[in-house]
């Protein structure tokens, strides 16, 4: 029998609690369109590069509240959406950084 990955073993043992809405939490910060969003207003994914401290803090808050798992800040981190902000060439970098932060 093959051992299950840690996450699947955790699911066998308990109800797994995921984090909540990343976007809502981001909106609670006073972030600058020019500095924090680098003029890509509405592109929260850029914050993993410009404000990793904010993203890390949000993840920490969810863990402190009892979450077992946090999701990455990558809802729109694909070539199509990031292309709207002239960031398509940074898709891999954004996704990798977001995964490391989570």
pLDDT score, position 1: 58
* Statement: residue 19 has pLDDT above 80: yes
CA distance 95 to 27: 20
Contact 31, 51 (CB under 8 A): yes
Q: What is the pLDDT of residues 44-99, one digit of tens each?
A: 999 999 999 999 999 999 999 999 999 999 999 999 999 999 999 999 999 999 99
What mean pLDDT do residues 29-41 have?
96
What is the pTM assigned to this prediction? Answer: 0.88
Rg over CA atoms, the chain: 15
């Amino acid at each position: 029998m093959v051992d299950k990955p840690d996450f699947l073993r955790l699911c066998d043992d308990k109800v797994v609690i995921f984090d909540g809405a990343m976007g809502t939490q981001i909106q609670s910060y006073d972030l600058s369109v020019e500095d924090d969003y680098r003029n890509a207003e509405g592109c929260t994914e850029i914050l993993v590069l410009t404000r990793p401290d904010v993203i890390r803090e949000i993840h920490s808050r969810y863990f402190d509240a009892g979450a077992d798992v946090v999701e990455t800040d990558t809802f729109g981190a694909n070539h199509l959406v990031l292309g709207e902000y002239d960031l398509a060439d940074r898709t891999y970098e954004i996704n990798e950084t977001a995964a490391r932060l989570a």
